[in-house]
Chains A and B, each alone.
Chain A
Amino acid sequence: MISRIFVMLKNGATRADSYLIDSKFLKKELIKLAEALTNPILENFSINNLEVLPPNGGKTSKFTYAIEIGFKPGVTDNVGHTVEEIARDLLGVKKNPDFHVYTSKIVFISLSKKDAEKYALTLYNPLIEKSLIVPVKNKKISLPKKVPKVVLKKRKPVINVSLKVSDEELIKIGKEGIKDGDGTRRGPLALDLASMKTIQGYFKKLKRSPTDIELESLAQTWSEHCKHTIFANPIDNIKDGLYKTYIKGATNLIRKQKGKNDFCVSVFSDNSGGIIFDKDYLITHKVETHNSPSALDPFGGAITGIGGVNRDAIGFGLGAKPVANTYGFCLAPPDEKRKLFRDKDRTQALLPAKRIMEGVIKGINVGGNCSGIPTLSGFIKFDDRFRGKPLVFAGTVGLIPRKNGSKLLHEKKARVGDYIVMVGGKVGLDGIHGATFSSVTLDSTSPATAVQIGDPITQKKLSDAIVKEARGLNLYNSITDDGAGGLSCSVAEMAKECGGAKVMLEKVPLKYPGLRPWEIWISESQERMTLSVPKKKWKKFNELMKSRGVEATVIGKFTNSGNCVVNYKGKKIMDLDMEFLHNGLPKQHLTTIPYLQNNKEPQIPKNSSLTKTLENLLGNNNISGFSYISQQYDHEVQASSVLKPLSGRGRINTDAQVFRPVLSSEKGVILSTGVYPSYGDINTYYMAACALDTAIRNIIASGGSLSNLAILDNFCWCSSYDKTRLAQLVDAVKACYDYGVGYGTPFISGKDSMFNDFRGYDEKGNPIAISIPPTLLISAIGVVPDIYKIISPEFKNVGDVIYLLGKTDDELGGSEYYKSLKAVGNDVPKVNLEKNLKTYLALERAIQKELVASSISVTSGGLAIALAKTCVGGMLGCNISVRGMPGSSKSADAKLFSESQGRILVSISPQNISAFEKIIKNIPYAKMGKVVKDGKFTITDKTKIVKTDVKKLYKIYHRFSEKMK
C-alpha cells in the first residue's frame, strides 16, 4: 500500500514536506509515525490528503499551483533513509520487513501555469530530480501515489567482448564503451588504441575473449584518474616521468638533506600523506578535486568530493580521524550569463554559473557540518574560463596516533586468508564510470550516472566506528577507501599487499535488485570502505559495526594466487593476473612543443585616481571577503580553533588558519594555500613558483615555521593531449622541484586532473570549446610549536609602526590590476629564493620573540590591497609613504599593485621597534608609516596618492558577501 504523510507548519507556509511510504503499515501505525515526524509545537501532519494553508493562517495569499520536487529513482534519499530508521525503531519491523520511504518537497505558489513551469526549473536539477506541477483546487492538491522505485530490466549478467575486431572498433570500445545487447554503448572506458591493443594481446595469449567485467576493471585501474599516466610516463628527455623525477624526486632529496630532522613518515604511498605532529601523533593531509561531477550536479559533486577526501584520512594507515576540512573553488563569475549546452540539439543545458556556485558552496557546507569536521581553510577564485568545468578542491587533515601498543598505525598489510569486508553504504548505479569519465572532456555523452549524492551521516557512523573504536581494538589488518573505480580499485589495490584476491560479488549488498556484476564491481556508490579482517576477528568486528548502525559484509578473501578473481553466483567471471592489472598499461613516450607567450601590455590610464583603482580592486570578487561562505561552515567544532577563517573587528578572511588537533597539547597545525591561474597565461614556471611561495609565505606570516612545513600539489590542467599544454606542465612541475627543494618543504601528497575541458554548443547551436586556464594549487601544512604565539593579520593598535618586508619590483603581469584593465601583460612575478628565505627566517624569529603585532602576506592586488585588508581587519586607519621602497618599481601603480612575491606587511608596537629592526637589518624592508586612529587611509608617494577611509573600505570588502547572504 502506498500512503503519504504531509508535514507542514501550523500557521500555514509556502512549502510542505512529503513522505511517500510503500508499506503494509496500518492506519494507526502511520499516525504514530507521522507524530514522530512532527514537532507538535511548530507543525501539523496530515495523511494522504493535504489541506493547503498559505502563511499567516491563509490571510496573505491564495495558492494556484503546487510544485513537487522529488528524487529520480535510485538517487540517494538521505531523509527517506532516516524515516525508515525511525519507523523501524518505532513500529518494529518484523511484520513489515520490506518497506520504503521516498521524500519530496512541495512548494506552493501563486503564479500562472506558465510562470509555475518557469519557476520550477530553478528549483531542481533534472539530472537527479524530477518536478511535478499540480493545481491547487479548493485548497486541496492531488498527487499521484507512485513511488520512484528503480526497476531494472532483466539483462544478461555477463557478456564476453570479442576483441578480434578492427582497430576502428577497438577505438570505439575504448572511447564509447562496450556495446550492450540492445546496441547501445555503456559509456567511456577512456582506453586509447595502444591500451586496447595491449589488452587484445593479453587475451589472445590466454586464448579467450575478456568478459565485460574484466574490460571494465582494466579501464578503471588504468584510468588517468587512477594511474596518472601523464605524470608517470616518460616525457621528452625525462625518462622516469614528471612525478618520479620532480615531485617524488624533490621529496626524497629534501628528506635526505633533513637527515634526522626529517618529519615525513608516510608520503605518496597511502591515501593521504603523513608527517610527525609530536611524539604521540601524526597528522595527514590530502587534497582532491571533484571537477567533473560538480559540473553536472554541483551540490552532489562537492559533497561527495569532501566525503571522498574524508575517507582518504580514514583510509590513511589504519585510519586517521578527520580533524579539518579545506576547500577551494575556481568558478565562472556568478553573473556570467552565457547559455551553454552539452548537445547540439540544445536539450542538455549547463547549469547557470550562479547555481554552480551556490551548489558547490552548499555541498562543502553539508559535507563538513554534518560530519563534525571543522571547515577551516578555503578560497574562491573567478575566471570566465571556469564556465565549462568548475574546479572544486576538497581537502582533509587527519590525526592518527603513531602507535597502538607496539604496532605502527601508519603501516598496514592485508594478509592471506583475511576476509575482504565492505563497510558502509550499499551499492547502486551511482557513479558508474566516474573514474573514466573524469579522464575525458565534458560533453553530451557524459554519463548521468556519474553523478552521486553524499550521505554524510552514514559516513560519520562508519568513520566513528572505525577510527574511534575498531582501530583501537586492532580488529583489522588493512583499510582503504572505495573511491574512484569502487570495489574494482580498492580490492585490487589492497590485493597488492598480499598477492591476490577472490571476490564473491553476489554477496555485495545492493540498493535495489537487477545490477549486473560489472556495475556492482565499478560502482562508485559513496560512504564505503574496504577492510581486510582476520577470520578470527570477524565476529567481534561485525558485532561492533552492527551495534553502531554500520553495515559490514564479507565479500571475499585475500589470497596469494597472483590473480584478482571475481566470482558471481558460483561462476568465475573475472580472472586477471595482478601483474597485468597493475602494470600492464603500456608506457607512452610523451613529447612537448615549446610555447611562446606574448601578451598585449595594457594601456595604463593617465591621471586616473589611484584611490578609485584601489577601491575597485578591493571590491573585485577575487580579492574581496567571502565571509558568507566562511560563516556558514562550522569552523569551531572539535573546539580546536586558534586562527579562524575570519579575523578581527572587520572579519577579514585569513590567508592561513591554525587549530589544535589534540586538545591536551599546545602544539598546533597551520594550513594555507597558494593559487594563481592568471600567471599561467604568461609563464607556468612562475605560476607554480608563486603559488608555492605564497602558500609558504602565508604560513610564515601567521607564525608557522619553515623547518616544519610540508606541501601538497594539485594540478588541474586542460587539453593534456596538446603538446604545448604539456610543455607548460613540464615547466610548472620543474618549478615545484626547484622551489620545493629550495625551501626544504617536501611534497607529501598530490593529485592531478588533466582534462578540464568542455566541448558543447552555444545558444545558436554553434560549437564551442572552453578550457580552464592551467591551474596549480599548492596547499601547505605545518606544525606550530606554540599556538599562543601565532599572529593574526589585522592591525591591532594605534601608533604601531608599519613595515613592508621584501622588495617590490615592477611585476604587474597577470596581476589583478592588469586584469581590471582587461590585459595580461608579460612581467609576471618571479621568485627570488635566496632573498625570500632570509626574509622568512627573520620574520619567523621576530614572531617567536613576540615582537610582531600583526602580519599579513602580500598577494593578489599587491601592497595596497594587503594594507586595505589589514586596516579593515582592525578597523583602523593608516598613514604610509611608498617613497624609497626597495625594489625596481617606479610608477605609483607598480608600487601599489605589483604582486611581487616574498613580501609581508607587518606592524610593530613602538617598544619593540629596535629589537625588530635588529632582526631584519640584513633584509630589504621599508618602514612605511603608522597605524592611525581616525580611520583615515592615506598613502603618499611624492604626493598624496590614495585617500580614503576604513569604513568605506569595510563596505567595499564585504559587498560581495552582503549580496550573497
Chain B
Amino acid sequence: MEKKNKSKNKKPKIIVLSGYGLNCEEETKFAFESAGAKKNVRADIVHINDLIAKPRMLQKYDVMAFPGGFSYGDDTGSGKAYANKFKNYLAKELEEFLARDTLVIGICNGFQIITNLGILPGALTYNKNGRYLDRWVDLKVTGRSPWLKDIKKISLPIAHGEGHYVISPKEYKKIQKDKQIAFKYIKGEICKFQNLEHNPNGSDYDIAGVLAYNGRVLGLMPHPERAMFSHQNPLWHINKNTPKEGRGLQVFKNAINYFSARGGSAYGGKK
C-alpha cells in the first residue's frame, strides 16, 4: 500500500484499453473527457499490445478503464481470453497499479474481463433466457466507492448476452457487509415506464455491479457512457425539457473529482 498522499488536486491521467474486439473505447474516452472538460482532462486509448510492449507506461496513469465490447468474440466465455492475455503479460504491472491510489472501471465486457482477472468477486455467465438483450434498467447504489458519489438511483442501458452475475451465498454475505455491491437492479422509472422486469438477466441477488479495493475498482454490466446525453434515455421523448447532460456522466465526473481536493474518504477509496 502506498501511504504517501499527494496533494490531491491534480488532473488525472486516464487510460482506456482497446484491441481484440473491445469496442466502446471511443465513447468511454469521450465520456471521461466530457466529464473532465473544465480541467481539460485527456483520456488515452491504448491497444493492449502497445501496453504489453511498454508495460511501464501504466505507471503514469491514475485511472484505467476496461471498456465494453466483444473481446475475442466472447469465445470460450466472455472476458476470459482478454483477461488471460492481460495476466500473462501484465500481472506485475496490474498489481503495482492497484497498489497505488488509482481507480479502475470495467464496463460490460470490461466487467467480465476484470472478474476473470480475479480483482473482483463473483463471475458472469449467460443471461437467464440465453439471449443477448439491449434495454434500459434501473439501479440503486448499495456500495461505497468514489465512483458512486452523489448517485443513489440511476437508470442506464445494458446490452449483453452474459450478464448474469453469480456469487455464492457465503461470499454474498461478505461483499454485502463490506459495501462491495455497487448496484442492484430495481423496479424504477424505466421498468415502470416500459413495463419491464427489474432484473434483466437473472443475476444473483439482483447484482448489476460490484466493487473491490475499497471501492476503487468498479465493475458493472450497465453502460454509463451510453447515458451521457439526455436524448439517450427512453424517457426523453416524453419530456424533452431536461438538461442535455445525461445522468451517466456522473460516474465519470466522480473519477475526475476523486483526484481533486473534494474527493472524500466517506465514499471509499485509497487503501
Per a CB cutoff under 8 Å, which of A42, A455, A631, A788 touches B134? A631
- Measured between alpha carbons, how far is A651 from B134 in the docked complex, in Å? 13
Given contacts A78-B75, A547-B50, A636-B226, whether A460 and B80 have CB atoms under 8 Å apart is no
In the bound assembly, the distance between CA atoms of A660 and B156 in angstroms comes to 18
Please tell me which stretch of A21-29, A79-87, A310-318, A838-846 contacts chain B, meaning at least 4 of its Cβ atoms lie within 8 angstroms of it: A79-87
Q: Which of these, A86, A372, A788, contacts B24 with CB under 8 Å?
A: A372
- With the chains together, A644 CA to B89 CA distance in Å? 40
Assess the A635–B134 pair: CB atoms within 8 A: yes
Partner of A649, one of B27, B31, B131, B193: B193
Nearest 3 interchain pairs by C-beta: A372-B23, A82-B75, A639-B27
Cα of A640 to Cα of B234 in the assembled complex, Å: 13
- Sample of 11 A–B contacts (CB below 8 Å): A369-B132, A460-B21, A461-B19, A547-B50, A638-B24, A639-B228, A644-B234, A647-B234, A649-B193, A660-B229, A794-B237
Q: Does A371 contact B (CB under 8 A)?
A: yes
State whether A37 and B76 are in contact (beta carbons under 8 Å apart), knowing that A82-B81, A642-B231, A796-B237 are contacts in the complex: yes
Interface mask (A363-393 → B, CB under 8 Å = 1, otherwise 0):
0010001111000000000000000000000
B24/A461 in contact, CB under 8 A: no
A370 nearest in chain B by CB position: B70
Closest residue of chain A to B159 (Cβ to Cβ) is: A634
Are B132 and A457 interface neighbours, CB within 8 A?
A: no
Q: Which residues of A contact B (CB under 8 A)?
A: 7, 17, 36-37, 39, 41-43, 78-79, 81-83, 85-86, 89-90, 365, 369-372, 455-457, 460-461, 464, 547-549, 630-639, 641-644, 647-651, 660, 663-664, 787-788, 792, 794, 796, 965
* Docked pose: A351 CA to B217 CA in angstroms: 49
Identify which of A43, A457, A644, A965 contacts B20 (C-beta below 8 A).
A457
**Interface hits, B21-67 → A, CB 8 Å:** 21, 23-24, 26-27, 30-31, 47, 49-50, 53
**Which of B6-14, B122-130, B180-188 contacts the other chain?**
B122-130
Q: Does B157 contact A (CB under 8 A)?
A: yes
Say how far B201's CB is from chain A's closest CB, in angstroms: 13
Interface residues of B (CB under 8 A from A): 18-21, 23-24, 26-27, 30-31, 47, 49-50, 53, 68-70, 72-77, 80-81, 84-85, 88-89, 116, 122-123, 125, 129, 131-135, 157, 159, 161, 166, 193-195, 223, 225-226, 228-229, 231-232, 234, 237-238, 240, 244
Residues B85 and A89 in contact, CB atoms below 8 Å apart:
yes
Q: Which residue of chain B has the shortest Cβ distance to A787 in the bound complex?
A: B231
Q: Out of A636, A642, A649, A788, name the residue touching B159 (CB < 8 Å).
A: A636
The CA-CA distance from A42 to B195 in the complex, in Å, is 32
Q: Shortest beta-carbon distance, A412 to chain B, in Å? A: 24
Q: Inside 8 A of B226's CB, which chain A residues have their CB?
A: 636-637, 639, 641
Given A460-B70, A461-B19, A637-B226, 5 additional A-B pairs, CB 8 A: A82-B81, A372-B21, A456-B21, A457-B72, A787-B231
Report how far A788 CA is from B135 CA in the complex, Å: 21
Q: Within the complex, what minimum Cβ distance (angstroms) separates A321 from chain B? A: 9
Asked if residues B84 and A36 are in contact (CB atoms below 8 Å), the reply is yes
| Distance of A88 Cα from B63 Cα, bound (Å) | 30
Of A41, A86, A372, the residue contacting B81 (CB under 8 A) is: A86
- Known A-B contacts A83-B75, A85-B81; the reply to A549 vs B70 at CB < 8 A is no
- Assess A42 versus B166: contact at CB under 8 Å? Given A89-B88, A370-B21, A547-B47: yes
- B232 proximity list for chain A (CB < 8 A): 636, 639, 641-642
Give the complex CA separation of A36 and B68 in angstroms: 21
A634 / chain B contacts, CB cutoff of 8 Å? 132, 134, 159
CB-CB < 8 A to A632: which residues of B?
Answer: 131-134
- Nearest CB in chain A: distance from B248 CB, A: 9
**Which residue in chain B gives the minimum CB-CB distance to A791?**
B237
Pair A36/B80 contact, Cβ less than 8 Å: yes
The smallest C-beta distance from B245 to any residue of chain A, in angstroms, reads: 13
| Chain A neighbourhood of B238, CB < 8 A | 648, 796
**Among candidates B26, B88, B234, B237, residue contacting A638 with C-beta atoms closer than 8 Å:** B26
Q: Are B30 and A639 in contact (CB under 8 A)?
A: yes
Residues of A contacting B80 in the complex (Cβ-Cβ under 8 angstroms)? 36-37, 39
Specify the chain A residue showing the minimal Cβ separation from B18: A464
Give the docked Cα–Cα distance between A636 and B18 (Å). Answer: 19
CB distance from A34 to the nearest CB of B (A): 11
Contact, CB under 8 Å: B76 / A86: yes
**CA–CA, A90 and B18, complex, Å:** 20
Minimal beta-carbon separation of A704 from chain B (angstroms): 16
CA distance A17 to B232 in the complex (A): 38
The chain A residue with its CB closest to the CB of B70 is: A370
Q: A787 to chain B: which residues have CB within 8 Å?
A: 231
Q: Among A365, A370, A372, which residue has the most Cβ atoms of chain B within 10 A?
A: A372
Residues of B within 8 A of A457 (CB): 20-21, 70, 72-73, 75
In angstroms, Cα B197 to Cα A57, docked, is 29
Contact of A792 among B49, B85, B237 (CB under 8 A): B237
Q: Which residue of A lies closest to B168 (CB)?
A: A41
Given contacts A78-B75, A636-B226, A648-B237, contact A663 B27 (CB under 8 A): yes
Across the interface, which residues of A come within 8 angstroms of B27, CB to CB?
Answer: 638-639, 663
For the complex, give the distance between the alpha carbons of A859 and B81 in Å.
Answer: 47
Are B116 and A39 touching (Cβ within 8 A)?
A: yes
Q: Which residues of B contact A370 (CB under 8 A)?
A: 21, 70, 73-74
- In the assembled complex, the Cα of A460 lies from the Cα of B18 at a distance in Å of 11
Instruction: Tell me, in angstroms, the Cα distance from A628 to B167 when the chains sit together.
Output: 29
Separation of A777 and B18 alpha carbons in the complex (Å):
37
Q: Which residues of chain A come closer than 8 Å to B159, judged between CB atoms?
A: 369, 634, 636-637
**Contact B84–A549 (Cβ < 8 Å):** no
Q: Are B47 and A39 in contact (CB under 8 A)?
A: no
A365 / chain B contacts, CB cutoff of 8 Å: 132
Closest-by-CB residue of A relative to B239 is A796
A456 touches B225 (CB 8 A): no
B225 touches A369 (CB 8 A): no
Is the beta-carbon distance between B76 and A79 smaller than 8 angstroms?
Answer: yes
Question: B86: shortest Cβ distance to chain A, in Å?
Answer: 10
With A and B bound together, what is the CA distance between A79 and B229 in angstroms? 36
A637 to B132, CA, bound (A): 13
Residue ID in chain B nearest A19 by CB atoms: B76
CB distance from B123 to the nearest CB of A (A): 4
Within the assembled complex, what's the spacing in Å between the Cα atoms of A635 and B226? 11
CB < 8 Å: which of B26, B68, B73, B84 contacts A89? B84
